Chain A
Amino acid sequence: MKRFQALFEEPGEQEQSVIIRGVDIHKIYRSGPQETHALRGATLDVYRGEYLSIMGPSGSGKSTLFNAIGALVKPTSGRVYIDQVDIAQLDTEELAWLRCRKIGYVFQTFNLIQVMTCLENVTLPMSFAGLSTEEARDKGIRILKMVGLGHRILHKPAELSGGQQQRVAVARALANSPDIILADEPTANLDQSTGQEIIDLFKNLQNTLGVTIISATHDTKMLQASDRILWIEDGVIVKAARPEEMTFTSDKFGAHGHH
């Protein structure tokens, strides 16, 4: 376990180094005789500190790719390297450590624990990481202030608006100072202006903390704010582009030129 942790402390990473690498990822879901090839050889690199968006129609394997690079599911074949560690080699305890310390998750449906206050929600992953109650409390309050909810720390999620709940979720994702934030359609349940607030928050985190942000999204505002966009169709990455290379009409997107 210690050796595994030490791998993540290598000093001297370059600015544009790769933090997540996926090589020829295949994922097959089996339910009885039915087989679904969700991913058919997806290959991608995610650079440290970038804001990456993953796009694709439903059934394209977007969610599966998202889960695979987020250490939420193991690929059937192919490799996923998170900070040069092959996640297929990890046991459940090490995966739990990874999810606890390296990656913060933000969900479309917020997924806050309703019975706990905002502060408790944010400090829960800190307890999993072994922080003492006082340290967790202080850090939790700091993070909640950073996302603009310092005045709501003792409220329960049900007492907050959608945008505020999502901000608590972002704060929770930051609890253990992760390198990566994985956001699954974070603005889908929010209105335009609140969605924009979240996007601004992400940009802010990217700039001040250097967090790598990966989001799966349909939201054009999010796409425009990203550094790079990956297209996935039929289980493979078909295109990678920068937002300025694309024209955004209301529903369809086209890319000019190549990446």
Chain B
Amino acid sequence: MNVTNATIPEQVKLPVRIALEVVLHGLRIRLGRSVVTITGVVCGIAFLMSILTGQVVKRGVADEDARREEVSRIMSFVRSDLPKLAGHTIGIVGGGTLSEVEARVVEQLAGEAGTILALKGGTPSARTLHGVTLRPVPAAQMAGEAAVIFIMGDGELPEFDWSGFLDRALNNLAAVTAPNAKLPPVLTAERTVQLARAWSAEELEAKSLEARKERFRSIWITVISLLVTVIGISNAMLMSVTERFREIGTMKCLGALSSFVTQMFVLEASIMGLVGGFFGAVLGAAFALTVYVITYGGSLVFSALPVGTMFLYAVGCVFAGVALSIVAALYPAKVAASMVPATALRSTV
């Protein structure tokens, strides 16, 4: 008679490995359709990535632009007062750290002027100064030799004999680039030039409003495009469920649990989301970068590019691809899993 198994465990939940094999086999066999579905994911994720990249690049470029504009504005002042910087001595006094703009001003000054003096014990530090070494000198020497003194940095002003410096020659001026510097009273308005630009409250409000509007617009577009992607994946998966009616019904006749069928479809969607998300992130970033390089020029774009953030965005996009694909597959998987085997048998598909 029949041989029953000696030990009958509970109905075994099939290991995921077997589901994975069936899925991979299936993807290979239906490569054409899989590629089409994956392309859908690629498009959606590429769009997301290009929006994100664009935002990041635009912000970087705008910041860089602003910085360059500031530097040239300051330099043009300097040149108007001292048309030939060559041979003149420039002094720097201040505390704290130099801003990016101030650092670049120092670099430019170093290129054009004779010497740059730094006050011993009273000079702001700089993150990087290309090709410039500041020579610390005592206060008396600074007061005697400097034609212009720049007050820079975000820290407290050191002790310095301002009146002595100002008395020496009529032309000596203090130029203030430090924002919110507390100037000693002897530095009157006629003897100082405020170069630090302070935005007014309305200007700041307008800028942040503009930024909010821009962000809202991109979020809206991105959500819509991702919705389209999800619907596309759902549609493709529903089609494949219909095509595989008989296969699913057969599996159920062989004893597959509904959970196995669901696992298969979720796995399939995850794989497609992973591949599509990866290629989408790469393509999206490449596309956005190309457009911006053409518009703004390579040097501007790449000098301002935050590589760390971009990498994070890319990883996030791949995750998004997988997550969205799984969401899209849930309904088709449910349809497949709840199929009664009998309906699958007589299917004429």
Residues of A within 8 A of B (CB): 1-2, 5, 8-9, 63, 67, 72-73, 92-94, 96-97, 99-101, 105, 107, 109, 111, 113-116, 124-125, 127-130, 172, 175-179, 184, 209-211
Q: Is B87 an interface residue (CB 8 A)?
A: no
A128 touches B256 (CB 8 A): yes
8 pairs across A/B with beta carbons < 8 Å? A9-B4, A96-B258, A100-B254, A101-B255, A116-B22, A124-B254, A128-B256, A177-B3
Instruction: Return the chain B residue nearest A8 by Cβ.
Output: B4
Q: A176: which B residues are within 8 A, CB to CB?
A: 255
Q: Are B246 and A111 in contact (CB under 8 A)?
A: yes
Indicate if the CB atoms of A115 and B28 lie closer than 8 Å. yes
- Would you call B28 and A99 a contact (CB within 8 A)? no
Q: Are A128 and B253 in contact (CB under 8 A)?
A: no
Known pairs A115-B26, A116-B25, A177-B4; A93 contacts B346 (CB<8 A): no
How far, in whole Å, are A184 and B251 apart by their CA atoms in the complex? Answer: 16
Q: Quick check: is B2 within 8 A (CB to CB) of the other chain?
A: yes
Most buried by B among A124, A128, A129: A128
Q: Do the beta carbons of A63 and B254 come within 8 Å of each other?
A: no
Please tell me if the beta carbons of A93 and B257 are within 8 angstroms of each other in the complex: yes
Question: B255 contacts which of A8, A100, A116 (Cβ < 8 Å)?
Answer: A100
In the complex, A1→B256 CA distance in Å? 16
Q: Determine which of B18, B22, B25, B250 lies in contact with A111 in the assembled complex, contact meaning CB atoms within 8 Å.
A: B250
Query: By the criterion of a CB under 8 Å from any partner CB, how many residues of chain B are at the interface?
Result: 35
- Known A125-B255, A128-B254: A73·B342 in contact at CB below 8 Å: yes
Q: Which residues on A sit within 8 Å (CB–CB) of B254?
A: 99-100, 105, 124-125, 128, 172, 175
Are A109 and B2 in contact, with the CB atoms below 8 A? no
Residues of B within 8 A of A94 (CB): 11
* Min C-beta distance of B339 to chain A, whole Å: 11
Contact present for B26 and A129 (CB under 8 Å) = no
Q: In this assembly, does B189 line the interface, its C-beta being within 8 Å of a C-beta of chain A?
A: no
B136 close to chain A: CB less than 8 A = no
Closest chain B residue, CB of each to CB of A172: B254
Whether the pair A99, B340 counts as a contact (CB closer than 8 A) is no
Knowing that A96-B252, A125-B254, A127-B14 are A-B contacts, what are 12 other residue pairs whose CB atoms are under 8 Å apart, sorted by A's residue number?
A: A8-B4, A72-B340, A72-B341, A97-B255, A113-B22, A116-B25, A124-B254, A125-B255, A128-B260, A175-B254, A179-B2, A184-B345
Collect the chain B residues with CB atoms within 8 Å of residue A107's CB.
Answer: 250, 345
Q: Are A92 and B258 in contact (CB under 8 A)?
A: yes
A177 to B3, CA, bound (A): 6
Q: Which residues of B are found within 8 Å of A67, using beta-carbon distances?
A: 342, 345
B307 within 8 A of partner (CB): no
**Nearest residue, chain A, Cβ from B246:** A111
Binding site for A on B (CB under 8 A): 1-5, 8-12, 14, 18, 22, 25-26, 28-29, 246-247, 249-258, 260, 340-342, 345-346
In the assembled complex, the Cα of A109 lies from the Cα of B348 at a distance in Å of 10
Max chain B CB contacts within 10 Å: which of A94, A105, A175? A105
Q: Which residues of B contact A72 (CB under 8 A)?
A: 253, 340-342, 345
Complex CA gap A1/B28 in Å reads: 37
Q: In the complex, what distance in Å separates the CA atom of A128 from the CA atom of B25?
A: 18
Contact yes or no, B253 A5, CB < 8 A: no
| Contact A130 to B9, CB < 8 A, known contacts A73-B342, A172-B254 | yes
Q: Are A96 and B25 in contact (CB under 8 A)?
A: no
Q: Give the residues in chain A near B341, CB-CB below 8 Å.
A: 72-73, 99
Lowest 6 A-B CB distances belong to which pairs? A100-B255, A130-B12, A115-B25, A72-B342, A125-B254, A128-B255
CB distance from A17 to the nearest CB of B (A): 12
Q: From the candidates A113, A175, A177, name the one contacting B247 in the complex (CB within 8 A).
A: A113
Q: Which chain A positions have C-beta within 8 A of B246?
A: 109, 111
Inter-chain contacts of B258 with A (CB < 8 A): 92, 96
How near does chain B come to A168, taking the closest CB pair, in angstroms? Answer: 13
Closest CB in chain B relative to A82 CB, distance in Å: 14
| Separation of A239 and B171 alpha carbons in the complex (Å) | 124
- What residues of chain B lie closer than 8 Å to A5, measured between beta carbons? 8
Establish whether residues A210 and B252, one from each chain, have CB atoms under 8 Å apart when the complex forms: no
Residue of B2, B9, B250 with most partner-chain A CB within 10 A: B250
**B28 partner residues in chain A, CB cutoff 8 A:** 115
Bound form: Cα–Cα A175–B260 in Å: 19
Report chain B residues within 8 Å CB of A114: 29
Report the Cα distance A5→B4, complex, angstroms: 11
Contacts of A177 in B (CB 8 A): 2-5
- What's the Cα separation between A101 and B82 when bound, in Å? 97
Q: Which residue of A lies closest to B346 (CB)?
A: A63
> Contact at B14–A128, with CB atoms within 8 Å?
yes
Closest A residue to B256 using CB positions? A128
Minimum C-beta distance from B140 to chain A (A): 89
- B23 smallest CB distance to A (angstroms): 10
Q: Chain B residues with Cβ under 8 A from A178's Cβ?
A: 2
